[in-house]
Amino acid sequence: MEETTRRAYEISYLLKAEEDIGVIMNLLSKLGAEILNEGAVSEMRLAYPIKKETRAYFGYLHFNLDSELVVKLRDELTLNSKILRFIIVTPPFVKTKVYREGQMDRPRPVTQERPDLSNDALEEKLEEIKI
């Protein structure tokens, strides 16, 4: 028996109507996906018409799904006329800490540790460079 692998995915979508989110939720449920997080659906004006629509409803979902079923999910969503656009990605889900109210600290690259140098040692190094 083959072992299936469940992975975390994010789907972002543009819908014709707000209630069309039920189409995506039903399909995910039918495929056995586990919904982790659901973003609020909000109406937006499109920069250019998509399928003759100038307004759409944008939202996103985080979910776990067997990796083999993602192709089936994509095919089903592509054929549905209520969905204007969608994209499925595997997000990195990087957690950040809040250091100050309203500001998030960005993940920093790992740097090589340097020994602490005194001002005298720094001045000596600068003199060496000048020579």
DSSP string, 57-107: EEEEEEEEEEGGGHHHHHHHHHH-TTEEEEEEE--------EEETTEEPPP
- Tell me the CATH architecture of domain 6-93: 2-Layer Sandwich (3.30)
More confident residue, 1 or 38: 38
User: What pLDDT shows up at residue 114?
Assistant: 56
Q: Which of 2, 15, 9 is nearest to 72 (CA)?
A: 9
Encoded tokens for 60: 């996103």
pLDDT at 56 over 50: yes
3-state secondary structure of 31: helix
d(CA 10, CA 90): 6
- The β-bridge relationship of strands 42-50 and 53-66 is antiparallel
Instruction: Please state the separation of Cα 73 from the chain's center in Å.
Output: 18
Q: What is the DSSP string of 24-51?
A: HHHHHHHHT-EEEEEPPPEEEEEEEEET
Task: Say whether pTM exceeds 0.75.
Answer: no
Tell me which of 25-39, 45-59, 107-121 is least confident: 107-121
